[in-house]
Each structure stands twice: as structure tokens, then as C-alpha cells.
């Protein structure tokens, strides 16, 4: 008996110990090769005999298989045991797998998990194997998941997540889970005076502030993102121990997020101040400390000090540190006073965290050179200083910008006006020839370039300095294709060009001629020679064979330079006249214009000649190819032309370059319909009619509405048809009567003085149930006194009834009356012999066919009616 009692006590003791151990857990994984991964289950348990024997845990690999994996690390610190279990697994194929672990029990007395001693701990981590995104390693959590706080004091925790792949991280709270991965019944977030939150960007858990002493567990996900796609996550289930204490956590002072160029040293001070005058110590975790080459460090490493601790963060960055997303450094300040204790646990040292994101940026490519050769520009630059760069991106704009990047500004921002023109995927390829995709560059333009280096994860370096050059002026450059400003009414074309001042007369000896070609349209698709001009200095031509004002089309020109000795030397780019178009509308003419030119126009001046006048005056300026001239009189003719003001960005050309369009006239007229009315409908069920009411648009958004059209449909999904109209703008009420059913849809349009019709008003539908449903009385008195002589329905209930099928029986089940007329009008006589039915109770069955917006619907009603005579 004594042996049995001793065994029972021992078994009970072991069971309690076993049932009170699990405090925190997570699963991390690492890619080994191909489809093989290493997974580690990390748990934090309570130190006791049974936990010493827990040498294996079961992991579910997510592909239908599971395995008991061994404990490889056991580290006891006070009553907290750090356990690490290792397993290696090869997956059958690419896909998404959920690694999970369920441990039988949590430790006793967790306040926000009811009966926690009987609740399993479950954690999971998502592994995505996608060859298009690259293999992935999970985050590693550098700060332990057991932390301490005080009642009434803000609590802060940061997991110190580090991702070796440089993926972007995000954080979100989830519920703690138990049996089979289900949410624990009754689980809640810890109660707070104000709030309990998790910063989705930094990972800071902030509890403001704990209300009750004790143990709490929370869980959150750390998600990894690559190119906008989630590539995995890790779940952490952690424990927070709250006691009653009077001290406050330390304060931390240091810089905010920053950037550093690879190859430079980043150094800054961090200070922690404890207002309670306890000793305070600063520690730091994060990606910079995990680098295999040139990791960051803090000095002094051991720095506890009374009141205030100070350290220096130092990181001698190298090219291998460059990545697209920033590294996260978490500074932790912890007071180390020994007077505040929590029963059964270690000294309560309050902490504070400061997160600093550090982006390591690649150095800019050096010595970018742009050199014009022929109609191309040759670019060259030094190879990237960082061997881990994979290529380059080249950007171009017309004209110098003077871009100086901010200290965290990578690549070439769009606001500079630079546009990417090429990408090179070889770090050793440091030249490029810009020939405008084979069509050649344009003379007279200063072409400016910048180049950046790129890295495997999409990171971009700082931009190089700008390099600019322009093509040599060794051919003519066209500057004007314009309506002749000296006599713009004639519409003749004035063509001008700049002569080639850099012409190699040894290679291209004279004498020289210009050949002037003309084509209809913008792009010179059918060029014809119209004149030959002798000598380099004759650079003007008036094309009197064209009248831009009457032709109705634009014209384009090209100037060829030829040597009588050797033939063709070169030619200008195509340039066209400005072609003005006008869209006529109500009290307004909308002007737009097009052209094909090699120079750049800065702005345009609009000229107008008013009705009955002969002089043009400038009326406005536009920075685009559009101008709206409103406030005009309908039916009057207004004429316009456009003056363009532009330039070549290269020096040595006439500036400004001014050209004129043809003269174009237009007559505004009212082609703008009124705005639609706003409709409402009310129904009179007794009279079976609908009353439509709407607003007069003349009071809000129009001025010439004269009448309205009324549209109707008996069903919701059929087209509305015109049924009537009103003849005065103030006549905004319409009664639709003589209906068989009130069921209908309506819309109204407004008609203006020239017949423009507005869009439909809002469509309003009236369904059968807007009126009371068909109902019969339970008594009538056919005694010919003029009151209640016939059996009829309540009048307001027939508004949506098409027909009925009514049968009335006497108490022996004999039929005495039948009808399909919704109004019934039974006079109390037997329909078979026309004799009065005797006084008493009669029974009926009535199928009611109601007209709804979706069609006819049958409804059956049953009841009784009494005849009194």
C-alpha cells in the first residue's frame, strides 16, 4: 500500500511538472540545397526534471509527413530553459508548405488563456518554394520571447527579426493557437489601460498599460515579402510576465533611420537614461551584427552605468552589405536594479527599444563620358567599384538638370525628367551607343545621361554625375515651318534652317546646295523636291505654292545638304507646320493643335479675331496643345491662330524659335444637353396611379430647358419607352393614371431650346409591395341597402393584381361562386342557380396573380367570409 501511494504521488508530481512547462515557441528554417531545408523548433520552457527528458519534438513538415527531431541545444538560465530541435527534410516539389509543432501543454496560470495548463502550444511557419522568386530562408528572431513589465507602465517588446535574404518584413498580431492549430477558446489580448498594438513596420509590441499582475501569452506573424509577393512567415508565441513595480523603463536617444554608402563607415552615439537612477545597460541586435564580413559592433560592449549609459554604434560597411531593403538595428535599454523582483521568476528589469533602419547603398558609377559621333552619342564609364553589382541602367533627358541625390535617394527619380533608355546585365559592360533605337539623334539637342549600378535583389546605387553632349552641327538644322507672319492671311509657308557650321569641308568639298522637300501630313511620308538653293548661307525659303489657311491639312519639310562634288552629305529632321483644329460646342470653342518638330516648344500664344473684325489679338497662353475659349456667342464666327515659342537645348541656334499655325475659324453652337433632372415617384394605391415629380434644371445647371420627356417600363429589366411629354420648363409633375398595375419604372429627360436631350434622370421603380397586398373582408351584407352589398377586396390592395382565380365553397364543400376578376363583386347568389345563398359562413381559396418588377407572381390566400342578411 505504501509503494502504491508513493508511486501515485510520484506520477502526480511528474504529470504536474510535465503539464507546466511550455512558455514560448517558434519554428525557423534555412535552405540547404535544391528542395532540402533545415528546420529548427525553438522553445522556452520551465526548468524541471521532466523537461530535462524532452529530447525530441514532433514537426509536421507540411507535405503530409511528420518526424520526431532531436534536441541539439539545451541552455538553462535561472528557471528558463532554451531548447533547440533540429530536423532536415527534402520536399517533393515546389509549393507552399506549413511547418508546424504542437506541444501538449503550456505553463500554469496564463491570465489570457483560460485553464492554460491543459492547452497545447501550437506554432507554424510558412515555407514557399518558388523557383521564380528564388529560395528563401526564414527570419531569425534575435531577441528572446520571454519579457517582463510592470502594472501601469508601458511595456515594449521587439523580436529583433533578421532576414538573411534581405526581404522586406511586416508584422501582425494573431491569436494564440492550441489543439490542432485552432484558436484557443476564450483567448483574448492582454487587458490594457489604453491599447495593445503591434507596429506592422518595426515589429514593436506596445502595451499601454498592463492592469493585472501575472503571466500573459501573445502571438504574431513576421511575414517576408519579395517583389511584392509573400515568400513565407514565422509565428512567434511569446510570454510576458507582469508584476507590481514602481520604476519606469529607461529612455533611449539616438538617430532615426539613415543610409550609408557601401565602403563608408557609419558611426553614431546611442544614450540610455534611467529616470529612476538605476543602473542601465544598452544592448543591440539586428542584421548588421549578423554579417559574416565586417559586422557592426558597439563600444563598449559591456556598458552598465548608473543613470546614463552611452555607446557608439560602428559599422564599416562593404559592398557585400548592399541590399534593397534596410537593415534593422534594435537598441535595447534595460535597467539592472536588483530590488524589484517577481515571485518565482528572475529580477524584473524593465526595458525600452529603439529601432533604426539602415540602408546600405551602392556607390555611383564614376567618370561617365558622353561623346557625339555622327548622329549617335557614345557613352562610357568606369566599372562598378562593387563586384556584387550585376549590371547598369542608363537614363537620358534633353538638357542638363543638375541632379544631386539625397543621402537616401537611390536610382534616378522621375521628377528629374530622366527616362530609362537601356539596361545592361553585365557588370563588365561599361559602354553604350545611343542612336535613338536606330533612328538617330537630333541635332540641336543637348543630350544628358546618368547611369546607376544594379544588384541581384533589385537594389540600385546612387546615380552617377550627369554627362551631356550634342551632335556636331555638320548638317543643316531646321528651325521654322510656319505660316508667314508678315502676311499670315495668305497662308504661305515660311521655312528656315541653320547652316552647318561644323562641316568638314575637306571630307565634303563644295560647292553646296540645299534641296527643299515637301510632303502632305506631319511625317514627310511622300516628300517631293520643290526647290534647290545654292550656297551654304541661303537658309530661308517661302513656299508660295501652299495656302495653310485653305488646304485643311498640315505640311512637312526636310532640307538636304548636297555637294556638287561628292553628292549627299546629310539632311535635317522632318518638321511640320502647326495644324489647328477647333471643336465647336455651346458658347465655347475648344482649340487643339498638332505638329511634328525636332525642337522643343515651351509655350503657345492664342490669337483671336472677333466677329466683324479684321485684327487678331492675343487672348491667352497655354503650356499644352489645348486651349478652351468660353463665354462666346452662339452662331457668331471666331477665327484663331497659334504662335509657338520654343528652342533647341543646344547652343548656337536662333532662340526663341517662333512659328505660326494656319488661321482656323469656328462657330459655337448649343450641342450640350441639359443636366438630367432628379426624379421621385409617389403612388396612390386607391386610384392605381403614380405621380412623378422632378426638379427644373434651369434653376441649377441649365438656362434653356423647354420641356420634358417621360419614359416608362412595366418591368425592371426591359427598355424604357417614351410615353408622354410636358410642354413647359416649370411643368415638373406628371400623373400616370388609368393603369392596370402600379408596378413600373420611370425616368425623365430634359429638352432644351435646340432639341438637345439630357441623359436619363435617376430611374425610379415602383414594385407591387409599395401598396398593401391583396386582401379580402370576412363579412358582407347582400340586402340591397346600398351598403356593403357585394363581396369585394379592400380597394387599395388591387393596385398590382392582374387577375385572380377565386373559388367560394359552402360548408358542405359545394362551389357557389368562381371568378378571375380581381374586383370579384359577388352579390351573394349561388352562381349555378342564381338563388340567394343562405346566411352563414363560406370558405374560399384564391390564387392572386400579382404584377412585380420581375414579372407575374402567384400567391395563394385562404379564408372565410360570412353572409349576413
Question: Which pLDDT score is estimated for 338?
Answer: 46
Bridge pairing between strands 161-162 and 617-622: unpaired
pLDDT band with cut points at 50, 70 and 90 for residue 48: low
867 has a pLDDT exceeding 90: yes
Give the SS3 label for residue 548: helix
| Beta strands in 631-704, from DSSP E residues, in sequence order | 638-647, 657-660, 664-666, 679-684, 689-694
- C-alpha dihedral, 372 to 376 to 382 to 388, nearest 10°: 160
User: How is the beta sheet containing 579-585 ordered, strand by strand?
Assistant: 579-585, 588-594, 626-630
Bridge pairing between strands 567-571 and 657-660: unpaired
Question: Which pLDDT score is estimated for 337?
Answer: 59
Is 781:788 a contact under the CB 8 Å cutoff? yes
Give the SS3 label for residue 5: helix
Question: Which pLDDT score is estimated for 189?
Answer: 95
From the list 754, 760, 761, 762, the residue with the least C-alpha distance to 706 is: 754
Phi-psi map region of 102: left, alpha, beta (phi>0 left; psi -120 to 50 alpha): beta
Distances from the Cα of 626 to the Cα of 116, 601, 604, 620, angstroms: 72, 13, 9, 11
First to last CA, the chain: 99
DSSP label of 6: H
Cβ–Cβ contacts within 10 Å for residue 400, how many? 12
Question: Which pLDDT score is estimated for 784?
Answer: 85
157 has a pLDDT exceeding 50: yes
From the list 319, 159, 350, the residue with the least C-alpha distance to 245 is: 350
pLDDT digits (tens, 9 = 90+) for 688-699: 999 999 999 999
Give the SS3 label for residue 615: coil
Is 264:333 a contact under the CB 8 Å cutoff? no
Question: Which pLDDT score is estimated for 345?
Answer: 39
Bridge pairing between strands 855-867 and 779-780: parallel
Tell whether omega for the bond before 604 is within 30 degrees of 0, i.e. cis.
no
340 has a pLDDT exceeding 70: no
What is the Cα–Cα distance from 393 to 419, expressed in whole angstroms? Answer: 10
State which H helix or E strand residue 8 sits in: helix 2-18
Give the SS3 label for residue 493: strand
Q: What is the DSSP string of 1-68?
A: -HHHHHHHHHHHHHHHHHTS-EEEEEEEEEEEETTEEEEEEEEEEE--HHHHT--EEEEE-SSS-EEE
What is the Cα–Cα distance from 757 to 586, expressed in whole angstroms? Answer: 14
Bridge pairing between strands 369-373 and 419-424: unpaired
What is the Cα–Cα distance from 296 to 290, expressed in whole angstroms? Answer: 8
DSSP label of 829: B
pLDDT digits (tens, 9 = 90+) for 53-76: 689 999 999 999 999 999 999 998
Q: CB within 8 A of 426, min separation 6: which ones?
A: 391
pLDDT band with cut points at 50, 70 and 90 for residue 79: confident
Residue percentage of the chain with pLDDT more than 90: 88
Mean pLDDT, residues 47-51 taken together? 57
Mean pLDDT over each residue of the chain, to the nearest integer = 93
* Residues paired with residue 235 on neighbouring β-strands, in sequence order: 221
Bridge pairing between strands 664-666 and 657-660: unpaired
Question: Which pLDDT score is estimated for 52?
Answer: 54
* Residues paired with residue 560 on neighbouring β-strands, in sequence order: 515, 571
What is the Cα–Cα distance from 244 to 105, expressed in whole angstroms? Answer: 27
Give the SS3 label for residue 782: coil
Q: Which residue has the cell 557625339?
A: 372
Tell whether omega for the bond before 693 is within 30 degrees of 0, i.e. cis.
no
Which of these ranges, 16-25, 394-403, 659-668, has the smallest mean pLDDT?
Answer: 16-25
Is 103:22 a contact under the CB 8 Å cutoff? yes
DSSP label of 51: H
Is 419:396 a contact under the CB 8 Å cutoff? yes
pTM over 0.75: no
Question: Which pLDDT score is estimated for 347?
Answer: 56
From the list 241, 62, 232, 42, the residue with the least C-alpha distance to 144 is: 42
16 has a pLDDT exceeding 90: no
- C-alpha dihedral, 849 to 851 to 853 to 855, nearest 10°: 50
381 has a pLDDT exceeding 60: yes
pLDDT digits (tens, 9 = 90+) for 784-834: 888 899 999 999 899 999 999 999 999 899 999 999 999 999 999 999 999
pLDDT band with cut points at 50, 70 and 90 for residue 20: low
pLDDT digits (tens, 9 = 90+) for 432-489: 999 999 989 999 999 999 999 999 999 999 999 999 999 999 999 999 999 999 899 9
What is the Cα–Cα distance from 309 to 326, expressed in whole angstroms? Answer: 26
Q: CB within 8 A of 283, min separation 6: which ones?
A: 298, 331, 332, 334
Question: Which pLDDT score is estimated for 78?
Answer: 78
534 has a pLDDT exceeding 60: yes
What is the Cα–Cα distance from 474 to 443, expressed in whole angstroms? Answer: 9
State the Cα angle at 202 between 199 and 207, rounded to 5°: 40
Q: CB within 8 A of 54, min separation 6: which ones?
A: 21, 45, 71, 83
Mean pLDDT, residues 368-381 taken together? 95
pLDDT digits (tens, 9 = 90+) for 583-616: 999 999 999 999 999 999 999 999 999 999 999 9
Bridge pairing between strands 679-684 and 664-666: unpaired
From the list 158, 182, 355, 324, the residue with the least C-alpha distance to 238 is: 158
222 has a pLDDT exceeding 60: yes
Amino acid at each position: 500500500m505504501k509503494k502504491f501511494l508513493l508511486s501515485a504521488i510520484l506520477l502526480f508530481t511528474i504529470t504536474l511538472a510535465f503539464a507546466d512547462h511550455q512558455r514560448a515557441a517558434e519554428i525557423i528554417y534555412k535552405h540547404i540545397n535544391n528542395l532540402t531545408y533545415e528546420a529548427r523548433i525553438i522553445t522556452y520552457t520551465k526548468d524541471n526534471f521532466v523537461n530535462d527528458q524532452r529530447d525530441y519534438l514532433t514537426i509536421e513538415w507540411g507535405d503530409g509527413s511528420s518526424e520526431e527531431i532531436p534536441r541539439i541545444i539545451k541552455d538553462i538560465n535561472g528557471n528558463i530553459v532554451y531548447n533547440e530541435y533540429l530536423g532536415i527534410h527534402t520536399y517533393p516539389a515546389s509549393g507552399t508548405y506549413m511547418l508546424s509543432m504542437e506541444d501538449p501543454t503550456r505553463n500554469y496560470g496564463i491570465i489570457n488563456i483560460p485553464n492554460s495548463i491543459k492547452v497545447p502550444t501550437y506554432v507554424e511557419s510558412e515555407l514557399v518554394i518558388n523557383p521564380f522568386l528564388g529560395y528563401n530562408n526564414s527570419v531569425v528572431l534575435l531577441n528572446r520571447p520571454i519579457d517582463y513589465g510592470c502594472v501601469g507602465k508601458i511595456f515594449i517588446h521587439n523580436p529583433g527579426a533578421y532576414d538573411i535574404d534581405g526581404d522586406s518584413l511586416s508584422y501582425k498580431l494573431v491569436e494564440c493557437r492550441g489543439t490542432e492549430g485552432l484558436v484557443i477558446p476564450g483567448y483574448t489580448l492582454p487587458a490594457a489601460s489604453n491599447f495593445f498594438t503591434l507596429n506592422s513596420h518595426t515589429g514593436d509590441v506596445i502595451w499601454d498599460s498592463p492592469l493585472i499582475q501575472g503571466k500573459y501569452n501573445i502571438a504574431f506573424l513576421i511575414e517576408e515579402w519579395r517583389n511584392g509577393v509573400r515568400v513565407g512567415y514565422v509565428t512567434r508565441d511569446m510570454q510576458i510576465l507582469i508584476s507590481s513595480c514602481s520604476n519606469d523603463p529607461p529612455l533611449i536617444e539616438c538617430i532615426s533611420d539613415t543610409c550609408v554608402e557601401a565602403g563608408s563607415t557609419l558611426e553614431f552615439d546611442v544614450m540610455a537614461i534611467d529616470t529612476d537612477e538605476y543602473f542601465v545597460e544598452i544592448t543591440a541586435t539586428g542584421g548588421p551584427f549578423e554579417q559574416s564580413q565586417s559586422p557592426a559592433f558597439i563600444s563598449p560592449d559591456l556598458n552598465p552605468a548608473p543613470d546614463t549609459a552611452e555607446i557608439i554604434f560602428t559599422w564599416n560597411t562593404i559592398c557585400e552589405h548592399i541590399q534593397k531593403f534596410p537593415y534593422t538595428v534594435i537598441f535595447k535599454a534595460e535597467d539592472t536594479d536588483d530590488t524589484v523582483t517577481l515571485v518565482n521568476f528572475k529580477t524584473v528589469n524593465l526595458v525600452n527599444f529603439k529601432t533604426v533602419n539602415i540602408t546600405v547603398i551602392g556607390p555611383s558609377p564614376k567618370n561617365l563620358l558622353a561623346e557625339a559621333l555622327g548622329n549617335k552619342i557614345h557613352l562610357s564609364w568606369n566599372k562598378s567599384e562593387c563586384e556584387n553589382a550585376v549590371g547598369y541602367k542608363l537614363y537620358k533627358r534633353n538638357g542638363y538638370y543638375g541632379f544631386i541625390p539625397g543621402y537616401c535617394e537611390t536610382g534616378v527619380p522621375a521628377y528629374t525628367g530622366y527616362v530609362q533608355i537601356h539596361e545592361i546585365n553585365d557588370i563588365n559592360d561599361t559602354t553604350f551607343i545611343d542612336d535613338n533605337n536606330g533612328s538617330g539623334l537630333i541635332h540641336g539637342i543637348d543630350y544628358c545621361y546618368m547611369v546607376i549600378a544594379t544588384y541581384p535583389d533589385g537594389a540600385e546605387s546612387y546615380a552617377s554625375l550627369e554627362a551631356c553632349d550634342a551632335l556636331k552641327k555638320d548638317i543643316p538644322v531646321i528651325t521654322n515651318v510656319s505660316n508667314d507672319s508678315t502676311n499670315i492671311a495668305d497662308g504661305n509657308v515660311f521655312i528656315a534652317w541653320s547652316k552647318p557650321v561644323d562641316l568638314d569641308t575637306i571630307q565634303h568639298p563644295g560647292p553646296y546646295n540645299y534641296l527643299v522637300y515637301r510632303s502632305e501630313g506631319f511625317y514627310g511620308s511622300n516628300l517631293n523636291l520643290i526647290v534647290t538653293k545654292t550656297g551654304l548661307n541661303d537658309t530661308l525659303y517661302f513656299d508660295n505654292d501652299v495656302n495653310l489657311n485653305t488646304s485643311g491639312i498640315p505640311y512637312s519639310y526636310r532640307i538636304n545638304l548636297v555637294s556638287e562634288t561628292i553628292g549627299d552629305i546629310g539632311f535635317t529632321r522632318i518638321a511640320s507646320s502647326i495644324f489647328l483644329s477647333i471643336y465647336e460646342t455651346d458658347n465655347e470653342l475648344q482649340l487643339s493643335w498638332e505638329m511634328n518638330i525636332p525642337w522643343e516648344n515651351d509655350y503657345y500664344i492664342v490669337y483671336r479675331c472677333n466677329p466683324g473684325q479684321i485684327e487678331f489679338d492675343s487672348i491667352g497662353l497655354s503650356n499644352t496643345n489645348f486651349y478652351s475659349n468660353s463665354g462666346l456667342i452662339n452662331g457668331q464666327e471666331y477665327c484663331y491662330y497659334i504662335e509657338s515659342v520654343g528652342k533647341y537645348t543646344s547652343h548656337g541656334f536662333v532662340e526663341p524659335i517662333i512659328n505660326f499655325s494656319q488661321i482656323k475659324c469656328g462657330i459655337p453652337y448649343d450641342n450640350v444637353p441639359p443636366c438630367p433632372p432628379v426624379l421621385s415617384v409617389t403612388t396612390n394605391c386607391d386610384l392605381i396611379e403614380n405621380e412623378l415629380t422632378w426638379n427644373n434644371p434651369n434653376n441649377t445647371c441649365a438656362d434653356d430647358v423647354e420641356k420634358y420627356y417621360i419614359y416608362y417600363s412595366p418591368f425592371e429589366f426591359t427598355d424604357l419607352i417614351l410615353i408622354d411629354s410636358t410642354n413647359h420648363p416649370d411643368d415638373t409633375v406628371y400623373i400616370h393614371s388609368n393603369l392596370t398595375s402600379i408596378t413600373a419604372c420611370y425616368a425623365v429627360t430634359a429638352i432644351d431650346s435646340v432639341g438637345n436631350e439630357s441623359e436619363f434622370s435617376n430611374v425610379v421603380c415602383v414594385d407591387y409591395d409599395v401598396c398593401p397586398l391583396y386582401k379580402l373582408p370576412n363579412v358582407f351584407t347582400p340586402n340591397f341597402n346600398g351598403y356593403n352589398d357585394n363581396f369585394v377586396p379592400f380597394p387599395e390592395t388591387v393596385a398590382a393584381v392582374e387577375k385572380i382565380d377565386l373559388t367560394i365553397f359552402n360548408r358542405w364543400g359545394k362551389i357557389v361562386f368562381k371568378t378571375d376578376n380581381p374586383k370579384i363583386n359577388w352579390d351573394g347568389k349561388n352562381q349555378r342557380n342564381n338563388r340567394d345563398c343562405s346566411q352563414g359562413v363560406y370558405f374560399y381559396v384564391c390564387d392572386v396573380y400579382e404584377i412585380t418588377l420581375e414579372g407575374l407572381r402567384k400567391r395563394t390566400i385562404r379564408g372565410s367570409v360570412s353572409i349576413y342578411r
